[in-house]
A and B are shown apart, each in its own frame.
Chain A
Amino acid sequence: MDKWAFGLTMTIVGVGGTFLTLWVLSLVIDLLKKLFPLKDEKAE
């Protein structure tokens, strides 16, 4: 593979993959927070 094709592939997939992975993680954290909400300490 020519070096510019390599560089552009790494850049596009790398930036895209990093954003995608972290976005998925943020959704999963949201889900976790919904499944396990912080209970009101006074109510306990």
Chain B
Amino acid sequence: MTDSILTGLNGLSSGIVYLFTQGGPNVIMLAIAAALLYLGVKKNVEPLLLVPIGFGCLLVNIPLSDLMDQGGFLRTLYDSGIANELFPLLIFVGIGAMTDFAPLLENPRILLFGAAGQVGIFVTLLLALALGFSQLDAVAIAVIGACDGPTAIYVASQYAPQLLGPISVAAYSYMALVPIIQPPIMKALTTPAERVIRMKSLKRSVSPQTKLLFPIVVTLVTGLLAPKGLPLIGTIMLGNFMRECGVVARLTKASENEIANIVTLFLGLAIGGTMEGHAFLKPTTLAIFGLGFIAICMDTVAGVVFGKIVCWMTGGKVNPLIGAAGISAYPMAARVVQTQGLRYDKKNHLLMHAAGANTGGQIGSVVAAAVMLSVLKGMGLI
């Protein structure tokens, strides 16, 4: 009887014993979980993602937690929606349903800003290779530079699942930090005269038919040129087609509300579940955070430099600041450009142009990832 009581007590104390004997990494991760929850709740930094990620991280780092073991709650979420790509793609349907591409359609050339805003991906790829990451790991890390959480998760979950936790957290953290990261770079790369260039207001020139056909055309063109990225672009455009066709309002609302909300919760928890201390606390995690930061800085640099080139080519008709909106963080990057434009000229409203570049960045980030995956496929690496 005494033995069985002692054995029972042993079971109760095993978690605490583990924590004090070999649970150092878990303690650090519990502190990181607390920091993520603090940032989400108190500082309003991407709370929809950081709260579930932080709580998932907390759950998985309680010693002897079996939530990520086969059949465990977090493992079930992971297997149901991340291992098989489902969750990021469902999020994309919601993003497509929420996005108005009209500013982009008014001035289609602005799409090229969305390409310039992806250059950081490729600079980061080279840096990751230089640091010794494998080819597929380097590609997954580089996609942080897409400034697009679902794309980063999609690529990492498929080709570098062991890096999914740090890549996801880095991607969402830096997206939230765009208003802090971008303005100094924008100021450093532009002259006072360039910053106050006023751009012509956009005329309303897009018919409902064009808006309706746009998602179909984008799906066809990108699907034919970069078929490996079709799930990414196809789901965004499905959401946008539902929005524009106007006959499936219930599905559109469900995609941008209920489905997106449920999936965001599951996605965040499952990502948090990958942040178990012994697996997460490695030098590679720090390297990934450093590379992610460089990626987003380089995206901004390339976007603004491209803006300067276009400004020069058009005889000063384009404000180079809008180049910073060529990244995918939507609508944050467009708001940053608007704020910076007003800072230097209180009557200079760049928002519509920046929104066009920003929606171009959304398409550009997905296209860049799609192109990379198709090139990898062509090389026989995936």
| Interface residues, chain A, with chain B CB atoms under 8 Å away | 1, 3-4, 6-11, 13-15, 17-30, 32-33, 36-39
Q: Known: A4-B129, A26-B111, A39-B207. Is A14-B222 also a contact (CB below 8 A)?
A: no
B222 near A21: Cβ-Cβ < 8 Å: yes
Q: Which residue of B lies closest to A24 (CB)?
A: B221
A6 near B367: Cβ-Cβ < 8 Å: no
**Of A9, A22, A23, A36, which one neighbours B375 at CB under 8 angstroms?**
A9
A10 near B210: Cβ-Cβ < 8 Å: no
Chain A residues near B360: list those with CB within 8 A: 22
Query: How many angstroms from the CA of A39 to the CA of B114 in the assembled complex?
Result: 29
B114 near A14: Cβ-Cβ < 8 Å: no
Query: How many angstroms from the CA of A20 to the CA of B225 in the assembled complex?
Result: 10
Q: Known: A10-B375, A17-B226. Is A22-B217 also a contact (CB below 8 A)?
A: no
Nearest CB on B from A30, distance (A): 6
A17 near B371: Cβ-Cβ < 8 Å: yes
Nearest CB on A from B85, distance (A): 21
**Of B112, B205, B213, which one neighbours A22 at CB under 8 angstroms?**
B112
Query: How many angstroms from the CA of A3 to the CA of B108 in the assembled complex?
Result: 36
Nearest CB on B from A37, distance (A): 6
Q: Which residue of A lies closest to B204 (CB)?
A: A38
How many of chain B's residues touch chain A, expressed as a range? 35 or more
Chain B residues near A17: list those with CB within 8 A: 225-226, 367, 371, 374-375
Q: Main SS of chain A's interface residues?
A: helix
Query: How many angstroms from the CA of A10 to the CA of B114 in the assembled complex?
Result: 18
Chain B residues near A36: list those with CB within 8 A: 207, 209-210, 213
Q: Which residue of B lies closest to A31 (CB)?
A: B217
Across chains A and B, the number of contacting residue pairs, with CB separation under 8 Å, is 116
Q: Known: A1-B379, A3-B129, A11-B125. Is A18-B210 also a contact (CB below 8 A)?
A: no
A33 near B367: Cβ-Cβ < 8 Å: no
Q: Which residue of B lies closest to A13 (CB)?
A: B375
Query: How many angstroms from the CA of A11 to the CA of B119 in the assembled complex?
Result: 9
Q: Known: A19-B115, A22-B112. Is A10-B122 also a contact (CB below 8 A)?
A: yes
Q: Known: A15-B119, A32-B210. Is A21-B367 also a contact (CB below 8 A)?
A: yes
Query: How many angstroms from the CA of A30 to the CA of B115 in the assembled complex?
Result: 18
A7 near B371: Cβ-Cβ < 8 Å: no
Give me 11 A-to-B residue pairs in the complex whose CB atoms sit less than 8 angstroms apart, sorted by A's number.
A7-B129, A9-B375, A10-B125, A13-B371, A14-B372, A21-B222, A21-B367, A22-B114, A25-B111, A27-B108, A32-B213
**Of A3, A4, A18, A28, which one neighbours B221 at CB under 8 angstroms?**
A28
Is the CB of B214 closer than 8 A to any CB of chain A? Answer: yes
Besides the known contacts A6-B129, A19-B115, A28-B217, 14 further A-B residue pairs in the complex with CB atoms under 8 A apart: A15-B119, A18-B115, A18-B364, A18-B368, A19-B112, A22-B115, A23-B112, A26-B108, A29-B104, A29-B214, A36-B210, A37-B205, A38-B207, A39-B207
A11 near B126: Cβ-Cβ < 8 Å: yes
B375 near A29: Cβ-Cβ < 8 Å: no
Nearest CB on A from B368, distance (A): 5
Q: Known: A22-B360, A26-B112. Is A14-B375 also a contact (CB below 8 A)?
A: yes
Chain A residues near B118: list those with CB within 8 A: 15, 18
Nearest CB on B from A7, distance (A): 5
Chain B residues near A21: list those with CB within 8 A: 115, 221-222, 225-226, 367, 371
Is the CB of B218 closer than 8 A to any CB of chain A? Answer: yes
